[in-house]
Structure 1
Amino acid sequence: MKNLIKVLPLAAAMTLMSCKKDQKADQLITEEETAIVAPTPPTQEEMVTEAQSKPLTTLALSESNFEFGKVKKGEHVEHVYEVTNTGKNPLIISQVKPGCGCTAPDYTKDPILPGQKGQITLKFDSTNFDGLVNKQAEVYANVETAPVVISFTADVQPK
């Protein structure tokens, strides 16, 4: 027991001396901190290159523009664009990039086989708009004319 009493103050002193200069004993010593850097979004050229890196095919849209008509301010509306693979290779939609944050895309992620159909949905939040609105989204897929542009219009009315 006497040896333990002699060792405890020595252990405490060694712990205090192991701190770096200008550092208190209760501070956490960490290795060099690394900043987390968000990846930069790909450029349009990079997205086209990625989309066209697969064997090319062709597609047909049920429509390239949709009119919502009158929409009440603050209303959330959505429209589904039907995509048909008219080529001989699987159609792969790699990304749908809307023109602004008011539009959220969703799309068929699996390859669309020749002759089969897929979907692209655009969801529009009219909260920050008044009057006639025209929005678009770029569809990146393994087609020669990427990106394919789809759009919609809405006439946002006051509540």
Structure 2
Amino acid sequence: MKRILFFAVFSFISFISLTAFAQKGPKIEFKAKDNTIDYGKVYKDNDNGVRVFEFTNTGDAPLIITNVQSTCGCTVPSKPKEPIMPGKSDKIEVKYNMATGPIRKSITVETNAVNAEGGKVHLKIKGEVLERPEVNLMEKKKVGPMQ
């Protein structure tokens, strides 16, 4: 009797768990690992600062991006204007102003996605912007002791 009762309770809990995870609605899945794009070490004069976060609506309803905002004015994100249909992909473009120094910025994406807590997804950009040292052709070259 205990085995039957245990099996019935276990089956009921498993059924409830499966239905809870099989959410209906739009779902957003970003292609970037950990929702982060790493600029690496880039030179200010060689890079326009634009990066793209690609995503797919893996749900069964249209995905709507209602807002995309950055933690500061040095990073400007742009969002899709139209709903993204199930199975379709789109992108969020981010332009960093390439100020010299480390890059550590966050972008918050507000959606109607059921797989994101409160519909919000946090994206990150990181890296370092370098400035090329100026070469003065008029400066005398230093000669080592062996030369």
Q: TM-score, normalised by structure 2?
A: 0.64
> Does residue 105 of structure 1 match 2:77?
yes
Q: CA deviation at 1:123?
A: 0.5
Instruction: For structure 2, list consecutive stretches of 5 or more residues without a partner in the other structure.
Output: 1-23, 133-147
Task: Find the partner of 2:62 among 66, 73, 90.
Answer: 90
> Does residue 151 of structure 1 match 2:124?
yes
Q: Which secondary structure does the structure 1 equivalent of 2:49 belong to?
A: strand
Counterpart for residue 60 of structure 1: 29
Q: How does 1:5-154 map to 2 (within 5 A)?
A: 56-63=25-32, 64-73=35-44, 75-127=47-99, 129-130=100-101, 132-144=102-114, 145=117, 146-154=119-127
Distance 1:107 1:77 in 2: 17
Residue 120 of structure 1 aligns with an amino acid whose one-letter code is: I
Q: Which secondary structure does the structure 2 equivalent of 1:76 belong to?
A: coil
Q: CA deviation at 1:111?
A: 0.5
Instruction: For structure 1, list consecutive stretches of 5 or more residues without a partner in the other structure.
Output: 1-54
Distance 1:81 1:134 in 2: 16
Moved beyond 4 Å, runs of 4+: none
Q: Which secondary structure does the structure 2 equivalent of 1:152 belong to?
A: strand
Q: Which secondary structure does the structure 2 equivalent of 1:111 belong to?
A: coil
Q: CA deviation at 1:76?
A: 3.1
Q: Sequence identity of aligned pairs in percent?
A: 31
Distance 2:44 2:110 in 1: 30
Q: CA deviation at 1:59?
A: 1.0
Q: TM-score, normalised by structure 1?
A: 0.60
Residue 143 of structure 1 aligns with an amino acid whose one-letter code is: A
Q: Which string of whole-angstrom CA distances, capped at 9 and with x for unpartnered residues, describes residues 11-34 of structure 1?
A: xxxxxxxxxxxxxxxxxxxxxxxx
Q: CA deviation at 1:125?
A: 0.6
Counterpart for residue 40 of structure 1: none
Q: CA deviation at 1:72?
A: 2.3
Residue 66 of structure 1 aligns with an amino acid whose one-letter code is: I
Number of equivalences: 103
Q: CA deviation at 1:56?
A: 4.3
